[in-house]
């Protein structure tokens, strides 16, 4: 994966195909990033997605303008048979509905208003006449929709058609082949004695990363769970059992809640919360690494024997969506939010990062976890952010606010599980809002805080759709939170 500004002449290898991704920019903006023109001269197939399509059009003499309204969400495209053999390959072998259509996901504010010379239309919608285009004689394609997200149900087939039908690539990579290669890479990085400490939260990302590291270097990996004071109810105890008993990982739980909460006092901005928590995490880890090294040296002095390796590495379960959302090259993405394990790290951090999952998406990590024989209930856990409940409390983080949110969130998840919905939902959580609402309880007026329930469905955690709850389940959750959460009455969903 390279920035779109990459110069083709600087590559030391020739690609078999090039995909130009989406971008938050407008191709006609003064500061818009533009692709190296040699991309179209290198003699390999090119596929542009959203901004990529618009950049192809701009580069070849087409016209792109602001749409009258932002087009975001589901759309149905109509695929057109052109009679140009190579042009039809992009949708070749993909089954359409009875009307010759296919559901896709749109997300754009600009659109192509006129075709460049020598390009033809291969798919359209009523509001987007040039939804997919192709060059008449060259293997250059563009799609306005996003085939890379799970909300385009046959999007992977479109990308697969480009990779296989157009580029002629076999696509032989599999997650089974990832494990031995990554274990070999970890062992090469760490050497025979190098030791690694790792941040674990009990979430699927850090759990899979910890298991993979344990498989690679055994007890030279030491996992730490930091209780930052903003974890879910009884989370530290549950994770300790899960990782030590179920997975055999060397784990220490550190209670640093007082330190974290003291630094979060008075802070309301979510970005500042993320930065504070990310920086404090690293400080705690470096302190624990020093304690481990000192203990190892003391043991060596007292008992003799071979010296243990130096702790040089910090394992993190960073995924590619974390990278995309946290780091903005000029073009590929906007900075959506800082992740504590990407943009919240200390600049002078002494430990070096090792991130075996950095180029994987959530669905791939779950597949990896299953191959590593991690129990299904662990692999299927909903994601939990590193900054924890601190960013689900809108406003200042206090022990009282944490207690309210922990209790409400515990009820929510418990009822979702009881209703058999947990595995149908990709992520569910409660947020505590900085507003109050009037209600009535026991014939008396109440004026208390409000919570919001969130539940979404997604595969790749790049796009999501809201989960359709059975009303009776929401009714029970509402009743329990209203009646059982201390100092709390009002409810919003």
SS3 382: coil
**Cα atoms found within 13 Å of the Cα of residue 12, Cβ hemisphere only:** 0
Q: Any binding-site annotation on 206?
A: yes
For the chain, the first-to-last Cα distance in angstroms comes to 40
Is 146 noted as a catalytic residue in this protein? yes
Determine the Cα angle at 410 with ends 405 and 413, to 5°: 120
55, 148, 235, 415: the active-site residue: 148
* 305 labeled binding residue: no
- Catalytic site residue from 86, 108, 146, 222: 146
Helix/strand/coil for 16 = coil
Kindly report each contact of residues 366-374 with a partner whose C-beta sits within 8 Å and lies 24 or more positions away, as own/partner: 366/204, 367/175, 368/175, 368/178, 368/179, 368/208, 368/212, 369/204, 369/207, 369/208, 369/211, 371/175, 371/176, 371/179, 372/179, 372/208, 372/211, 372/212, 372/215, 374/207, 374/208, 374/211, 374/247
User: Are the C-beta atoms of 48 and 40 separated by less than 8 Å?
Assistant: no
Contacts of residue 323, defined as CB under 8 A and 6 or more positions apart, other chains included, come to 342, 358
Which position among 50, 339, 340, 355 bears the catalytic label?
50
Q: Is 113 annotated as a binding residue?
A: no
207 labelled binding-site residue: yes
* 202 labeled part of a ligand binding site: yes
Determine the Cα–Cα distance for residues 166 and 92; give it in Å rounded to an integer.
Answer: 10
Question: Is the distance from CB of 354 to CB of 189 less than 8 angstroms?
Answer: yes
How far is it, in rounded angstroms, from Cα 93 to Cα 274? 46
The answer to whether residues 103 and 74 touch, using CB atoms and an 8 Å cutoff, is: yes
Active site residues: 50, 146, 148
Give the annotated binding-site residues. 201-207
Give the annotated binding-site residues for ATP. 201-207
């Amino acid at each position: 994966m390279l920035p779109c500004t990459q110069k083709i002449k600087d590559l030391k290898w020739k690609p078999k195909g090039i995909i130009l991704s989406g971008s938050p920019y407008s191709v006609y903006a003064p500061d818009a990033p533009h692709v190296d023109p040699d991309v179209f001269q290198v003699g390999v197939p090119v596929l542009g997605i959203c901004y990529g399509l618009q950049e192809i059009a701009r580069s070849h003499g087409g016209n792109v303008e602001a749409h009258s309204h932002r087009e975001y969400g589901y759309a149905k495209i109509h695929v057109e048979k052109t009679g140009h053999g190579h042009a039809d390959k992009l949708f070749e072998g993909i089954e359409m509905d009875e009307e010759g259509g296919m559901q896709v996901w749109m997300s754009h504010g600009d659109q192509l208003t006129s075709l460049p010379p020598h390009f033809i239309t291969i798919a359209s919608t009523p509001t987007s006449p040039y939804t997919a285009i192709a060059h008449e004689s060259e293997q250059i394609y563009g799609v306005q929709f996003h085939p890379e997200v799970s909300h385009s149900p046959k999007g992977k087939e479109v990308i697969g058609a480009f990779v296989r039908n157009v580029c002629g690539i076999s696509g032989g990579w599999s997650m089974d082949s990832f494990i031995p290669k990554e274990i070999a890479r970890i062992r090469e990085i760490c050497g025979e004695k190098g030791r690694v400490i790792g941040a674990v939260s009990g979430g699927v990302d850090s759990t899979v990363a910890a298991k993979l590291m344990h498989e690679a270097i055994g007890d030279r990996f030491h996992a730490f769970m930091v209780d930052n004071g903003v974890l879910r109810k009884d989370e530290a105890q549950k994770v300790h059992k899960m990782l030590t008993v179920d997975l055999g990982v060397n784990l220490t739980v550190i209670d640093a809640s007082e330190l974290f909460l003291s630094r979060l006092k008075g802070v309301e901005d979510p970005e500042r919360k993320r930065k504070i928590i990310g920086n404090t995490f690293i400080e705690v880890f470096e302190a624990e690494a020093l304690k481990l090294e000192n203990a190892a040296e003391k043991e060596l002095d007292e008992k003799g024997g071979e010296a243990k390796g130096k702790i040089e590495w910090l394992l993190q379960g960073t995924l590619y969506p974390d990278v995309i959302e946290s780091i903005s090259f000029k073009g590929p993405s906007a900075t959506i939010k800082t992740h504590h394990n990407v943009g919240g790290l200390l600049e002078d951090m002494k430990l070096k990062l090792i991130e075996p999952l950095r180029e994987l998406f959530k669905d791939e990590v779950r597949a990896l976890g299953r191959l590593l024989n991690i129990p299904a209930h662990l692999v299927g856990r909903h994601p939990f952010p590193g900054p924890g409940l601190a960013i689900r409390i809108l406003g200042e983080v206090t022990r009282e606010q944490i207690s309210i949110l922990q209790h409400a969130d515990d009820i929510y998840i418990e009822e979702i599980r009881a209703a058999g919905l947990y595995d149908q939902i990709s992520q569910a959580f409660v947020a505590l809002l900085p507003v109050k609402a009037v209600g009535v309880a026991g014939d008396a007026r109440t004026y208390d805080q409000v919570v919001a329930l969130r539940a979404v469905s997604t595969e790749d955690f790049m796009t999501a759709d809201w989960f359709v709850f059975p009303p009776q389940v929401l009714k029970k959750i509402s009743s329990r939170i209203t009646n059982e959460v201390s100092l709390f009455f009002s409810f919003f969903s």
